[in-house]
């Protein structure tokens, strides 16, 4: 049961946060409100009137819009074409033509009215993620909705894009729009929400916390509630928001990168002469604003991108020229930054995804056939061990929440002996309970002697996990510093300002 007798009230002009773990039932609830799923019991009231939504079109007519976690845009269409899709303006009768001029004008008017700049003529596939999200919001607002549902809107955004989105949400609420903000990020909830409803395993969590908002729907919580209390309400137990780690005892040099030069898809130099060493039994964190070459660096290590120059060695074995499969088989674990694109095969089952690295090796199979019994047995064990919320190990990965898909990737990569573990954005889109678990597994890998490279746009995560921090800016490593380095200094380095340049100013 995904939703179990949930009561929820959203008032005009408020930002109402829906907080819960991955798989708690948040998206399922909103998909019913948007007409994508039909409830088995209960009713939906809009302005006091009971409504039934058989499709998103019915919900939009009732003034409800939704921006999904995974955007519903056609990449090869322009912004204006995407926004018009499903509500096309036609001139000249039923056999007429699309009124592109009016569609373009509507886009510009809506984007200007709500402070959401978008280029109506740009192709969606050429837009960064933050701009695509603005397109989705403008698309909803052109339908003149009164309630806007944002499903995990910051899961794929950089910190700068996140701050921009929170500003947009404040502006929409001030203009009278109601917003349901689905998330599991506690800092964002406290920064933007007027009220919070916590859902755990399909139920609204009743709270007798002293800061619970009075005279509201049962379970509604004030944003003044501490992060620790919110985390415990979500997970049902006390959660440590700090990484617990002992001192490291680095051993041999495992990963050695020298003079690495890598180009991006446009042929522009993204990694510009990087030298790095990661030792056994330590975590090296790479900090930096996303888009400064971190993605290309990791892809070059994993054989997904061919460098223009330089060397990449693991235990003095050259990786350049090896296939990604050979690199994985050599004892390297890899969590890619985009789980949907590179981490899972959504049509495959949870069990099948858990053996993507080892499906043709004993006990799971050989070059000729698979061993379904061994695969199923291992899947049951890993689902329990990594707390993967799924109806069955035979269920398609596409039916899991984004955070549980991430757990599948983590479980697969951490269930075999490793020399080097590379984690790119390991907790993106993951709730606090799962973050605590993934962080503990990363520290366990370090403590058993694995060399660990962590790339994250979350500075708190890098500082919490790393024994050393390499700050990357415009394809170069500006400095390698201690995690005890003041945040102000780290922030300056991430902006490309070294200590010498600061003193000159």
How many Å is the Cα radius of gyration of the chain? 24
> H/E element holding 333?
strand 332-335
Q: Point out the least confidently predicted range of 190-194, 238-242, 308-312, 403-407.
A: 238-242
In a domain, 361, yes or no: yes
The verdict on 277 and 346 lying in the same domain is no
Bridge partners for 317 per DSSP: 314
The verdict on 464 and 363 lying in the same domain is no
pLDDT, average across residues 11-21: 91
pTM: 0.71
Bridge partners for 479 per DSSP: 471
The verdict on 70 and 184 lying in the same domain is yes
Distances from the Cα of 171 to the Cα of 177, 250, 477, angstroms = 9, 50, 38
pLDDT at position 367, please? 84
In a domain, 146, yes or no: yes
The verdict on 286 and 362 lying in the same domain is no
Per-position b or e across 161-187, b if 16+ CB within 10 A of its CB: bbebbbebbeebbeeebbbbbbbbbbe
In a domain, 1, yes or no: no
**How does pLDDT run across 67-114, given as a tens digit for each residue?**
887 778 899 999 999 988 877 777 766 667 777 888 888 889 988 888
Residue 214 has pLDDT above 70, yes or no: no
pLDDT at position 156, please? 64
The verdict on 200 and 255 lying in the same domain is no
- Domain end residue (candidates: 416, 435, 469): 416
CA pseudo-torsion sign 408, 338, 66, 73? negative
Sort strands 317-318 and 332-335 into parallel, antiparallel or unpaired: unpaired
The verdict on 409 and 459 lying in the same domain is no
Q: Cβ atoms within 10 A of the Cβ of 159, count?
A: 14
Q: Cβ atoms within 10 A of the Cβ of 101, count?
A: 11
pLDDT at position 55, please? 92
pLDDT at position 216, please? 44
Residue 352's pLDDT band (cuts 50, 70, 90): very high
The verdict on 382 and 423 lying in the same domain is no
- Domain end residue (candidates: 416, 449, 472): 416
**How does pLDDT run across 280-320, given as a tens digit for each residue?**
999 999 998 777 899 999 999 999 999 999 999 999 999 99
Structurally, the chain folds into a number of domains equal to 3
The verdict on 90 and 168 lying in the same domain is yes
How far apart are the C-alpha atoms of 3 and 29, rounded to whole Å? 7
Please check whether residue 405 is in contact with residue 340, taking contact to mean a CB–CB distance below 8 angstroms.
yes
The verdict on 21 and 163 lying in the same domain is yes
DSSP label of 126: G
In a domain, 405, yes or no: yes
In a domain, 219, yes or no: yes
The verdict on 226 and 262 lying in the same domain is no
Closest C-alpha among 397, 283, 410, 446 to residue 335: 410
**How does pLDDT run across 377-420, given as a tens digit for each residue?**
999 999 998 888 888 999 999 988 777 888 999 999 998 899 99
Please check whether residue 182 is in contact with residue 150, taking contact to mean a CB–CB distance below 8 angstroms.
yes
362 three-state secondary structure: coil
- Domain end residue (candidates: 204, 235, 266): 235
State the residue range of the domain holding 356: 342-416
In a domain, 463, yes or no: yes
Closest C-alpha among 84, 165, 152 to residue 124: 84
pLDDT, average across residues 237-244: 75
DSSP label of 221: E
In a domain, 201, yes or no: yes
> H/E element holding 19?
strand 15-20
Q: Point out the least confidently predicted range of 84-93, 116-125, 326-335, 391-400.
A: 84-93
Q: How many helices (H) and strands (E) does the chain have?
A: 17, 21
Residue 192: HSE in the Cβ half-sphere, 13 Å Cα cutoff: 33
CATH number at residue 424: 3.40.50.300
pLDDT, average across residues 148-168: 79
The verdict on 58 and 35 lying in the same domain is yes
The verdict on 54 and 169 lying in the same domain is yes
Please check whether residue 3 is in contact with residue 212, taking contact to mean a CB–CB distance below 8 angstroms.
no
């Amino acid at each position: 049961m995904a939703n179990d007798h949930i009561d929820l009230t959203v008032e005009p002009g408020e930002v109402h946060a829906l907080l819960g773990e991955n798989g708690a039932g948040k998206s399922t609830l909103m998909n019913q409100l948007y007409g994508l799923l039909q409830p088995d019991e209960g009713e939906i009231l809009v302005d006091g009137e009971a409504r039934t939504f058989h499709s998103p079109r019915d919900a939009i007519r009732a003034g409800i819009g939704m921006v999904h976690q995974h955007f519903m845009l056609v990449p090869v269409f322009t912004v204006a074409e995407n926004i018009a899709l499903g509500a096309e303006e036609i001139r000249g009768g039923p056999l007429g033509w699309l009124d592109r001029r009016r569609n373009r004008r509507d886009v510009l008017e809506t984007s200007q009215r709500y402070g959401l700049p978008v280029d109506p003529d740009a192709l969606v596939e050429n837009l960064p993620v933050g701009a695509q999200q603005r397109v989705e919001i403008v698309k909803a607002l052109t339908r003149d909705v009164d309630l806007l549902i944002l499903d995990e809107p910051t899961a794929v955004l950089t910190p700068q894009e996140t701050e921009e989105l929170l500003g947009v949400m404040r502006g929409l609420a001030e203009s009278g729009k109601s917003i349901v903000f689905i998330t599991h990020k506690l800092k964002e909830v406290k920064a933007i929400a007027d009220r919070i409803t916590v859902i755990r395993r399909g139920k609204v969590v009743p709270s007798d916390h002293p800061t619970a908002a009075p005279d509201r729907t049962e379970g509604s919580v004030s944003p003044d509630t501490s992060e620790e209390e919110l985390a415990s309400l979500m997970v049902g137990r006390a959660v440590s928001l700090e990484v617990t780690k002992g001192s490291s005892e680095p051993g041999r040099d495992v990963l050695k990168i020298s003079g690495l030069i890598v180009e991006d898809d446009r042929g522009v130099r993204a990694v510009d002469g990087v030298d790095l060493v990661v030792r056994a039994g330590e975590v090296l964190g790479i900090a930096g604003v996303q888009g400064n070459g971190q993605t290309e660096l990791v892809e070059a290590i994993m054989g997904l991108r061919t460098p223009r120059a330089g060397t990449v060695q693991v235990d003095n074995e050259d990786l350049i020229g090896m296939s990604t499969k050979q690199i994985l088989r050599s004892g390297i674990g890899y969590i890619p930054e985009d789980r949907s694109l590179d981490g899972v095969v959504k049509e495959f089952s949870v069990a099948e995804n858990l053996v993507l690295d080892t499906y043709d090796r004993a006990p799971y199979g050989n070059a000729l056939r698979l061993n379904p019994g061994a695969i199923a047995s291992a899947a049951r064990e890993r689902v329990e061990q990594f707390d993967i919320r799924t109806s069955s190990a035979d269920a398609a990965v596409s039916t899991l929440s984004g955070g549980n898909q991430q757990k599948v990737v983590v479980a697969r990569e951490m269930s075999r002996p490793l020399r080097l573990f590379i984690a790119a954005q390991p907790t993106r889109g993951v709730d606090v309970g799962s973050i605590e678990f993934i962080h503990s597994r990363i520290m366990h890998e370090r403590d058993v002697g694995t060399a660990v490279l962590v790339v994250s746009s979350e500075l708190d995560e890098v500082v919490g996990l790393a024994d050393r921090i390499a700050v990357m800016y415009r394809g170069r490593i500006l400095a390698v510093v201690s995690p005890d380095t003041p945040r102000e200094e780290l922030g300056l380095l991430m902006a490309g300002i070294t200590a010498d340049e600061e003193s000159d100013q």
